[in-house]
Amino acid sequence: MQENSPAPAALSRKFSVAPMMDWTTPHFRYLARILSRHTLLYTEMVTTGALIHGDTQRFLRYHESEHPLALQLGGSDPAELAHCAKLAEQFGFDEVNLNVGCPSDRVQNNMIGACLMAYPDKVAEGVAAMKAATDLPVTAKHRIGIDGRESWDELCEFIEKVAAAGCETFIVHARIAVLEGLSPKENRDIPPLKYEWVYRLKEKYPHLEIIINGGIKTFDECHQHLQHTDGVMLGREAYHNPWLLASVDTEFFGEPPTVASRHEALRAMLPFIQQELERGVYLTHMSRHVMGLFHGMPGGRQFRRHISENAHKPGSGLEVIEDALAKVRES
Ligand SMILES: Cc1cc2nc3c(=O)[nH]c(=O)nc-3n(C[C@H](O)[C@H](O)[C@H](O)COP(=O)(O)O)c2cc1C
């Protein structure tokens, strides 16, 4: 970001943006950090296989301004998880998180994600290996259950085993994942939300840090959840309406906002977009993540339309964003 950008905030899990594949890319995260200094950001999930056998540098690339930043891993092999946790530390991440909530078929075959909720010992082994490999906080993001294993006692067994392995922070998506019959998208909407279960976890395990996730949209809802849990994690709402993040520092951390307007936020991103264009990144790879910025504002539709119609054209550059910005009145 700017040369005089403030030092990163200390890691707090009171308010975070969820890991989302294809959405919480470095470009979205750059914008998110312009909007809020305190929000904890998560990478997209990266599998241990991809990190170990693929282009490690590319998968772990982020901008210095993104701190505090957590790396989310998908995997279950303890040695591989340990290796990747060490990489997370070497690359300067602030936390390493294990995905035990993703319901996709593709990942089930590889023992990654929500299917691991059926194997608490395996998750515990993975967490123990990660803990032994790094001094970073090791956290888990999971569901309240999966089909066929959705009782309160089974959830408690999962938490207790994983906590005994050294995990002190549980980010709980407050619905089960149905591995047989629902798509990943349906699995984010159809199984009912049971926030009370997450509250009960905090009551039963007060020494653990419990973060609640799933279907949260407003600050009023966040404040309500914060009466029962240690933090809130927002996914889709933060992506589709990122301007919400501009009030997080004031609302939850008692600090002044980092930017005064949506225009200012996007303008602060332009030098970074220019640098990325010069590296050969296509404008569309970045511009798609700013589409939500004028969500609900007069002119927002024209802003989005201008980007959709022009960003993909060969050679498009900053002028597309600048012209789109000019379509919305500056407040
Ligand atoms: C496009 C998309 C991609 C996602 N990818 C991941 C992921 O990589 N890892 C993960 O743990 N959860 C992933 N999720 C789930 C979110 O992290 C979050 O748990 C879920 O969307 C519920 O929160 P929300 O209702 O605030 O969006 C994804 C969600 C979406 C919409």
Ligand 1 centroid from CA 319, angstroms? 32
* 231, 253, 275 - which closes a domain: 253
pTM of the entire predicted model: 0.97
Among protein residues, the one with the nearest Cα to ligand 1's atom 4 is 20
**Is residue 222 annotated as a catalytic residue, yes or no?**
no
**Domain range holding 126?**
15-253
Ligand 1 centroid from CA 101, angstroms? 9
Ligand 1 centroid from CA 281, angstroms? 25
User: By the 8 A CB rule, do 200 and 228 touch?
Assistant: no
215 appears as a binding residue in the annotation: yes
- Asked if pLDDT for residue 179 goes beyond 60, the answer is yes
142 appears as a binding residue in the annotation: no
Query: Where does ligand 1 bind, in terms of residues with CB under 6 Å?
Result: 18-21, 23, 44-45, 72, 99, 101-102, 141, 173, 188, 213-216, 234-237
Domain membership of residue 241 (yes or no) is yes
Among protein residues, the one with the nearest Cα to ligand 1's atom 23 is 214
233 appears as a binding residue in the annotation: no
Both 163 and 273 in one domain: the answer is no
Ligand 1 centroid from CA 227, angstroms? 23
Span 303-325, pLDDT tens digits: 999 999 999 999 999 999 999 99
Domain membership of residue 284 (yes or no) is yes
Q: Residue 108: its pLDDT value, please? A: 61
Instruction: Domain count for the chain, please give it.
Output: 2
Question: Could you tell me what percent of the chain has a pLDDT over 70?
Answer: 97
CATH number at residue 88: 3.20.20.70
Domain membership of residue 5 (yes or no) is no
Q: Residue 256: its pLDDT value, please? A: 97
CATH number at residue 270: 1.20.120
**Among 102, 115, 167, 222, the one annotated catalytic:** 102
Both 65 and 139 in one domain: the answer is yes
Both 236 and 298 in one domain: the answer is no
Q: Name the average pLDDT for the chain.
A: 96
Pocket test for ligand 1, best of 15, 17, 20 (most atoms within 8 A of CB): 20
Span 58-86, pLDDT tens digits: 999 999 999 999 999 999 999 999 999 99
- Report the atom number in ligand 1 closest to the C-alpha of 97: 11
Q: How far apart are CA 170 and CA 186, in angstroms?
A: 23
- Report the atom number in ligand 1 closest to the C-alpha of 185: 31
Both 274 and 321 in one domain: the answer is yes
- Report the atom number in ligand 1 closest to the C-alpha of 113: 11
